[in-house]
Amino acid sequence: MSAAAQDLQLTVGSMTHTGGRENNEDSILVETLPPITPGSGPGYLLAVADGMGGYEGGEIASKLAIDLVRDLFARDQPADIALALKQAYRRANDAIYSQGAGTADAPPMGTTLVTAVVRGKYVTIANVGDSRAYLMRANQLTQVTQDHSLVAEQVQQGQISEDQARKSRQRNVLTQALGTKETLDKRMPSIYELALLPEDRLLLCTDGFFDVLTHDDYLQLMSGDDPSEAAAQLTSLAVKRRTTDNVSAIVLAVGASLTTVQRQQISAELAEQRGNAMGAMLIPALVLIVVIIAIVAGIYFYM
Ligand code: CA
């Protein structure tokens, strides 16, 4: 099989919506990256950030984080993506913190940031905060990233259940964010690596969905071939169910494998042939019926 035939077919769709708020403090990023080898498909740089802070601080913080990630990958194509992402997150933290420190009377500003760098089938994800990356594979949804939140820590330590975490009043309390402290915790960002398979879906999203959508909703709305439609349907369902927060989603869809496409084509051709064969059999059958009617009519007429 040639290198081109092995390439996954990737498409991306995205949507951000004010949801249940007046302003949108979320920012999103969808950029194509140059092909790794000439002739192969493009890569993607995807990110969602959920800002917080008064006096438009949230909007400024999430936009700053997104701009820094974009600029870093626009300048060069780093060989070590995880290292480049760590540097970008550190720079974003410093930029947001110093901007926030300049407005001493305003509440502190900060942002979450989840980023996915897709090169061919390989994905590197970096995360700080409680925006999430999900992988949908074989009709199963897996949360790739771990939230940096108080309730996520409590669940991990066995103090509360997942269900209690979802209902907790403290569910929005973050343990890590960009821009809220002078230096970013040296364990941050959390890095995850995965390899995509045909028909996978990768979702990056902010927490405005968590209270109003179930795992089945994500699976159902992302199973189609059009990621733009999936992102639009996810946000519109969250709005319909009266989310009180902003909602942002980026969906990456991996096309079916070549063998699956070939199998579908063969089944379609076979179905068509069967249809033609039925048609071919129908004509002699109709002729036979007409002849029988004619004979019966003839016998009746001459009797
Ligand atoms: Ca939010």
Q: Please list, in sequence order, all residues whose beta carbon lies within 8 angstroms of the beta carbon of residue 96, skipping any fewer than 6 positions away.
A: 60, 61, 64, 65, 109, 110, 111, 178, 179
pLDDT at 102: 65
| 106's tokens | 């305003």
What SS3 class is residue 292?
Answer: helix
> 209 — phi, psi (to 5°)?
-85, -25
Handedness of CA 129, 30, 179, 51 (dihedral sign): negative
Give me the pLDDT at residue 33, please. Answer: 92
pLDDT at 251: 98
Distance from the alpha carbon of residue 292 to the mean position of ligand 1, in angstroms: 76
Peptide bond into 189 cis (omega under 30): yes
Alpha-carbon span 278 to 241, nearest angstrom:
49
Q: Which residues of the chain have pLDDT under 50?
A: 1-5
pLDDT of residue 69: 95
CA of residue 98 relative to chain centroid, distance: 31
Q: Cα(149)–Cα(29) distance, rounded to whole angstroms?
A: 23
CA of 104 to the centre of ligand 1 (A): 23
Query: Quick one: pLDDT at residue 6?
Result: 59
Q: What CATH number was assigned to the domain covering residues 2-255?
A: 3.60.40.10
On the CB side of 41, how many CA atoms lie within 13 Å of its CA?
Answer: 17
Question: Is the Cβ–Cβ distance between 47 and 116 less than 8 Å?
Answer: yes
Ligand 1 mean position to 229 CA, how many Å?
Answer: 22
Ligand 1 centroid to 118 CA: how many Å?
25
**N-terminal to C-terminal alpha carbon distance within the chain:** 75
- The residues, ordered by sequence, that sit 6+ positions from 290 with a Cβ below 8 Å of its Cβ are none
Report whether 127 contacts 116 (CB < 8 A): no
Distance CA 74, CA 275 (A): 53
- d(CA 235, ligand 1 centre) in Å: 13
Question: 59 with 248: CB under 8 angstroms?
Answer: no
Distance 158 CA to ligand 1 centre (A): 25
Instruction: Give dist(CA 237, CA 207) in Å, integer.
Output: 14
Q: Which of 90, 108, 92, 88 is nearest to 100 (CA)?
A: 108
